[in-house]
Amino acid sequence: MSTKKRSRTVPPPVVDAAEASSLFIAASATGKKKNRKRVEVKLAADADIVLAKCRELKEKLRRKKREAATTGTPSDDDSNAIPKDIVEVDELSTTEVLEGIEGVALQITRQVLQKKGFSMEIPSRASSNQIYLKDRDRLVLGGKRVGRSFLNVRESRKSAITLRVMQLLHAVLVKRIHITKRDLFYTDVKLFVDQAESDGVLDDVATMIGCTRSNLHVVASDKGLVVGRIQFEEDGDFIDCTKMGVGGKAIPPYIDKIENIRSDAEFILLVEKEAAYMRMAEDRFYNKYPCIVITAKGQPDVASRMFLSRITNELQIPVLGLVDSDPYGLKILSVYMSGSKNMSYDSASLTTPNIMWLGLRPTDLDKYDLPDQCRLDMTENDIKTGKELLNEEFIQKNPKWMKEIENMIKTKKKAEIQALSSFGFQYITEEYLPRKLREGDWI
């Protein structure tokens, strides 16, 4: 008769918290030894030659800034130079925003007690109230205002939404927390119906209070990415964007929590497409030629625009734009430079003037002998958009940009940044960009 051994369950060893912590650290250290060693990418041997013209541009921009400060040339910091018939918001503290909301609530309460219903006066964000300031090279909101009355049948629902949004914002600000625009929408779906309704009212409240949208503690989801020679503290945490993995660091929506920005970069490379950004990040282009690489993955979000504006002002280094050779690439650059109509009331903190167009430009298609199969035919809509750009004031002030667009419309050809991969996957980082920088080929 065979005897079957009974399996015996061994209880796990009892480990206290201190021992568990030491075991975790030891395991982590062991794990690190097994990981593949990071390949160090050093400064390129020809860096001084390649970056010579970029350094000249950097000094030129800094000299211009110093001259503007000494001669009293109007700047965004000079409030006396801002026309009085436009609406510009300011950075306000949480307490100041709360006081603003409570002030509006008090006015409404008085109107209701007088049995007059209630109405609000709000700056108009209509297209007809958008003004382009040539001396500042950006869009701003005009001084026209519109009324919003609860007793008006057509305006009663919008009035109710405005009050509800203000109520929710007040609760968020009191708790000193942040929420997303989507969070705000889901707090009262039945009233808002569509997120576009709550988003629009959010901007109305910002203009009414006179603060930036970020001051309301409502943010959009992360979209932008940054990698390269920049360090900063984010809500007390030290961030080094050369050591954030291949993909870099997500640009945080809480730009107000970023401080102590430091960098030894010579320029900022603003990239339209994430694919091109990832090529530069993986090749660690920013170590070969010290720079900061940023992308918003297409149409820029508020956080990416605010982050770019902030670091450009603090570091005072040039921004070079790398976008597709089509009208939409230029439209993206225009949003970074001159702002958008939706956020024109906050253009002072969202715009970055003097961005240089590095590539991919229409004339590059012949200069770099781009294969015919990589040159795409422009659609009728593309051509129409290109012609509309020729009428934009921010384009007309730069004759070289005008010539490039005219060339694009004449040839009826466009191309994506990725078309450069037809010469090799790393052609953009090993040949195209170094040559562009060495020649100072930007406009």
Please check the confidence at residue 421 and state whether its pLDDT lies above 50: yes
Q: Average pLDDT for residues 126-150, to the nearest whole number?
A: 84
Confidence of residue 83 (pLDDT cuts 50, 70, 90): low
Confidence of residue 161 (pLDDT cuts 50, 70, 90): very high
Question: Domains, the chain, ranges and CATH?
Answer: 86-219 (1.10.10.10), 225-439 (3.40.1360.10)
Give the distance between the most distant pair of CA atoms in the chain.
107
**Per-residue pLDDT, 5:** 47
**Per-residue pLDDT, 255:** 84
Confidence of residue 25 (pLDDT cuts 50, 70, 90): very low
**Per-residue pLDDT, 79:** 46
Tally of CB atoms within 10 A around 46: 12
**Per-residue pLDDT, 39:** 61
Q: Average pLDDT for residues 49-63, to the nearest whole number?
A: 92
**Per-residue pLDDT, 28:** 43
Considering only 38-52, 231-245, 343-357, 380-394, which range has the smallest mean pLDDT?
Answer: 38-52
Considering only 1-15, 174-188, 267-281, 419-433, which range has the smallest mean pLDDT?
Answer: 1-15
Please check the confidence at residue 43 and state whether its pLDDT lies above 70: yes
Q: Which two tokens stand for residue 114?
A: 């007088």
**Per-residue pLDDT, 139:** 83
Single out the catalytic residue among 132, 186, 277, 336: 186
Please check the confidence at residue 75 and state whether its pLDDT lies above 60: no
Please check the confidence at residue 32 and state whether its pLDDT lies above 70: no
Q: Average pLDDT for residues 138-145, to the nearest whole number?
A: 86
- Non-local (6+) Cβ contacts of 108 within 8 A are 118, 120, 163
Please check the confidence at residue 11 and state whether its pLDDT lies above 70: no
**277 included as an active-site residue:** no
Please, which residues bridge with residue 277 across strands?
none
- Non-local (6+) Cβ contacts of 345 within 8 A are 87, 88, 89, 123, 125, 140, 141, 203, 206, 207
Q: Average pLDDT for residues 322-327, to the nearest whole number?
A: 95
Q: Average pLDDT for residues 334-361, to the nearest whole number?
A: 89
Considering only 79-93, 175-189, 190-204, which range has the smallest mean pLDDT?
Answer: 79-93
**Per-residue pLDDT, 346:** 85
Mean pLDDT computed over every residue of the chain: 86
Handedness of CA 309, 310, 316, 319 (dihedral sign): negative
Does the bond joining 225 to the residue before it have cis omega, within 30 degrees of 0? no
Cα–Cα dist 399/350, whole Å: 25
Closest CA to 263 of 301, 225, 227, 222: 227
Q: Average pLDDT for residues 271-291, to the nearest whole number?
A: 95
Cα–Cα dist 143/295, whole Å: 34
Q: Which two tokens stand for residue 89?
A: 């918001």
Report whether 437 contacts 56 (CB < 8 A): no
Confidence of residue 38 (pLDDT cuts 50, 70, 90): low
Q: Average pLDDT for residues 20-46, to the nearest whole number?
A: 58
Please check the confidence at residue 397 and state whether its pLDDT lies above 90: no
Please check the confidence at residue 95 and state whether its pLDDT lies above 80: yes
Q: Average pLDDT for residues 176-191, to the nearest whole number?
A: 92
Tally of CB atoms within 10 A around 362: 22
**Per-residue pLDDT, 309:** 93
**Per-residue pLDDT, 119:** 86
Report whether 211 contacts 126 (CB < 8 A): no
**Per-residue pLDDT, 1:** 46
